[in-house]
Amino acid sequence: MSYRMVVRGSAAKDVLEAFFWYHTIRTQLGNQFMAAVKECSDSIEANPFGYQLRKGQFRHAMLRKFPYRMVYEVEHLEVFIYRVVHVKRRPSKKFGP
């Protein structure tokens, strides 16, 4: 079954902010972060129900080698990615820790 990925503006903003932060530290680190984001989103697209429910209908998938996770929800044949958050920051009331 094929799922359509929908990236919300808040998730895109989260990714860009983290990318630019890593990029200022070292150019290759920014590129590695983007590769980890792509790998994680590909994994979600292949098996969206493979990650546990964390709060309500929201699921969290960890990025490899970076302290970030993708917060997403599956509705019918669509996967909505709402946030890409740092795991050490204050948890969201809506999306959970």
Distance (Å) of CA 93 to CA 4, 55, 58, 61, 90: 26, 9, 12, 18, 9
Which pLDDT score is estimated for 73? 96
The pTM for the full model equals 0.88
Specify the pLDDT at position 55: 81
Assigned CATH topology for domain 4-86: YaeB-like fold (3.30.2310)
Report domain extents, the chain. Answer: 4-86
pLDDT per residue rounded down to tens, the chain (97 residues)? 788 999 999 999 999 999 999 999 998 999 999 999 999 999 999 999 999 898 889 999 999 999 999 999 999 999 999 999 998 876 555 655 4
